Structure 1
Amino acid sequence: MQAARGASLSPSEPNPQSPSPDDLKQARSRRNRCLALFWTLAVVLIALDQWVKELAIAKLTGEGRVELVGDWFGLQLVRNPGAAFSMGTSFTELLAVVAAIATIVVVWLSFKVRSTFWAVGLSFLLAGVVGNLIDRLTREPGFGRGHVIDMFAFPNFPIFNVADICINVAAGVIIVQAVRGIRLDGTREENDD
């Protein structure tokens, strides 16, 4: 009877496909570095998002648009009950549930990451989702219905916040990694063609 593909034919012969102890150690080290990067960056970005929102509330409440670069860029406090671009304003509770599920999925995926670029992308995604979820859970008009604080204003463009920037950076990283064919574990997808 033949051995299974890649299996050793005799007990004394090492299996060429099984990783060596050094390979396992390197893989664990790479995973730990990626996890540390993921969590550190995510926590810093969430803190930045919340700090900027508190600053906007403190400095922009009762103000109109504050011009910083002529008509091109300014600050304006907006409480947004909807999603990006103020869509779905009547679905605030559903958006909170979707954000909570997305948070769980991103955290679960983070434990599979062995690629620095993926760790960065997922940390930005987590920061963006959690930053806006915190608003939905803690801000007026109440738990699960809270309005997201937005403040960055360009002409003819929806007002946005740091969390929204994080989500867009994450989308860019994910697209680049998908186009490059890089998996979460850092390996490259093989073309069957």
Structure 2
Amino acid sequence: MTPDLLSPGSEGDHRDAVEEDQPIPLTARRRAWVVLASTAAVAIILDVITKTLAIQHLSGQESVRLLGGAVYLTFTRNAGAAFSIGTNLTWIFPIIAIFVCGVIVVLARKLASLPWAVAIGLILGGAMGNLGDRLFRSPGPFRGHVVDFISVFGDAGERFPVFNVADSALTCGVVLAILLELTGRRRDGLPADTDAHGS
């Protein structure tokens, strides 16, 4: 028997390695995938519906004031990012969105946590919502302008960028993911101390 197998820490290290590799139940993964896909689908559907309504009822009209001026509905098309940053680099935003979607597919392979499924679903839905604009709206594929229509504390984005449902979903998803990471929630649904202590 070799010395390393007799060392005090070897048994604990072996146990940790085994637990890190323990399989995630297929039912847990399927449940997480369903939640992820459903969350993304709801975000995309709401984004498409609200953008369609914005085009039909807000385009060419004055801003609609809501909640005493806390929120305005104002139609705009954005070629760039927030505050119209990067308007001359419209083509790069769909590439970033496609990359994000690819990363999500990789992360979802070991996904079994429902909170993480919601967070990733929101990010995926938000990314795909605006990607649809970039690909299918004028002036053409990879150059399409995103439809934005929600402005807060000003009717033309003076205090905060004009945004849409996809932006909201993406932001909420990122914030939720950060909170889950900070609180030690794992994407595979296993206890947070599995790596260090085992079960």
Question: Which bin holds the TM-score, normalised by the shorter protein?
Answer: 0.7 to 0.9
The reply on whether 1:164 has 2:167 as its aligned counterpart is yes
**How many residues of Structure 1 are paired with residues of Structure 2 in the alignment?**
180
| Alignment map for 1:67-146 (pairs within 5 Å) | 67-146=65-144
Match of 2:44 in 1: 46
Counterpart-to-counterpart distance in 2, 1:117 and 1:171:
12
Q: Point out the more displaced range, 41-50 or 106-115.
A: 106-115
Q: Point out the more displaced range, 26-35 or 122-131.
A: 26-35
Structure 2-normalised TM-score? 0.82
Give identity over the alignment, percent: 36
**2:147 aligned to 149, 154, 168, which one?**
149
Counterpart-to-counterpart distance in 2, 1:18 and 1:182:
20
**2:179 aligned to 142, 164, 176, which one?**
176
In the TM superposition, what whole-angstrom CA distance separates every residue of 1:151-178 from its partner, at most 9, and x where no partner exists? Answer: 1111222110001101111111111111
Tell me if the contact between 1:84 and 1:164 (Cα under 8 Å) persists in the aligned partners.
no
Code of the aligned partner of 1:44: V
Counterpart-to-counterpart distance in 2, 1:106 and 1:182:
17
Greater relative contact order (Cα 8 A, min sep 6): structure 1 or 2? 2
Code of the aligned partner of 1:171: V
Counterpart-to-counterpart distance in 2, 1:66 and 1:191:
55
Q: Write 1 or 2 for the structure with the bigger share of helix.
A: 2
- Superposition RMSD in Å: 2.5
Aligned-partner SS, 2:75: strand
